[in-house]
Structure 1
Amino acid sequence: MQELQTHHVGIVVSDLDEAVSFYRDALGLSVADEFTLTEDGIGTAIGVDGATGEFVHLEACGDDGDDTRIELIEYDPAGDDCTAGAINQVGAKHVGFAVEDIEEFYENLPDEVEPVSEPQAIEIDTSILFFRDPEGNFVEVVEA
């Protein structure tokens, strides 16, 4: 199996502007990227039909020069309108890992790991895959 590299920690929020202000202004993180994903790119990947998401990536620089990326997401519809335990619930969190070849990673997943969907391309020129750990926490793998 491919070696995983830490990519990001994602947090679902109800007010993206307020959350960005907090992480940027109060904690000093810098905005690295902002983008929107439509239902074709994110809804099927997370298992919530019709969902779209507004994303902001923020970075905190470590002493060793490595950046830690925080991904803030505001989904539409928000989780209150969807199945309990869905990733678009406010307060939902996930950890993201990067691999060089997501298809190879997917093909080599152990049988007990059930992906939410197959790897799929999203509008920001990468592919993603979601599954849950044994405790039900979401794990994302992104092709880097």
Structure 2
Amino acid sequence: MIGELHHYGVTVSDMEESLDFYRDSLGLAVSERLSFASEEFSTFVGVEGVDVDIAFLDAGGGAVELLEYAAPPGGDANEGVENNDVGAAHVCLEVPDIEAVHDDLNGTVEFLSPPQRLSNGAKVAYVFDPDGNVVELLEA
């Protein structure tokens, strides 16, 4: 019934600032840009009067979808959210060398901590996009 993961979508406050992060800092390529201001899209997302700019970025076996709503204005879903809160979410992206990525991006991207080696052997780090959305980097 269910196929492969197609994309992970996240609402952002500023498309260009988010593209600076996902495209320029993390290296994801923009594969498609769309915009919708239609009754059908409003019905689809359950929000009246939608005007939205969308960018899809290639993430290997799937995509990251960035959505900036020009209208109507929304709130900040990350306000006061901790990683252990029900509903807290993150997207995980594989990197070949997490220490090198940390060294390269530290100071320009906010890391929650330096890379950590977990008891299962995985090397991981959480970073925050410009809106505070969590992105996990996993050495693969």
Give TM-score scaled by structure 1 length: 0.49
Match of 2:17 in 1: 18
Match of 2:32 in 1: 33
In structure 1, what is the Cα distance between the partners aligned to 2:89 and 2:37?
20
- Contact 1:10–1:93, Cα closer than 8 Å, also in 2: no
Match of 2:62 in 1: 68
- Whether 1:52 and 2:47 are equivalent positions in the alignment is no
What letter matches 1:70 in structure 2?
Answer: V
In structure 1, what is the Cα distance between the partners aligned to 2:56 and 2:47?
22
Cα distance change on mapping 1:31 and 1:94 into 2, 3 Å: same
In structure 2, what is the Cα distance between the partners aligned to 1:10 and 1:72?
6
* Deviation of the 1:57 alpha carbon: 0.2
In structure 2, what is the Cα distance between the partners aligned to 1:90 and 1:72?
15
- Whether 1:4 and 2:3 are equivalent positions in the alignment is yes
Greater RCO between the two (CA within 8 Å, min separation 6)? 1
- Contact 1:24–1:30, Cα closer than 8 Å, also in 2: yes
SS at match of 1:6: coil
The number of aligned residues is 81
Question: Can you list the C-alpha shifts for 1:24-43, whole angstroms capped at 9, x where unaligned?
Answer: 01000000000001132311
* Deviation of the 1:72 alpha carbon: 0.2
Structure 1: which 5+ runs fail to align? 62-66, 81-88, 96-144
- Report the structure number with the largest CA radius of gyration: 2
SS at match of 2:5: strand
Q: Give every structure 1 segment of 4 or more consecutive aligned residues whose post-TM-superposition deviation is greater than 6 Å.
A: 92-95
In structure 2, what is the Cα distance between the partners aligned to 1:90 and 1:14?
11
Percent sequence identity is 37
Structure 2: which 5+ runs fail to align? 79-87, 92-140
In structure 1, what is the Cα distance between the partners aligned to 2:52 and 2:77?
12
SS at match of 2:19: helix
Question: Can you list the C-alpha shifts for 1:58-96, whole angstroms capped at 9, x where unaligned?
Answer: 0123xxxxx32000000122213xxxxxxxx5659799x
Cα distance change on mapping 1:26 and 1:71 into 2, 3 Å: same
In structure 2, what is the Cα distance between the partners aligned to 1:94 and 1:51?
25
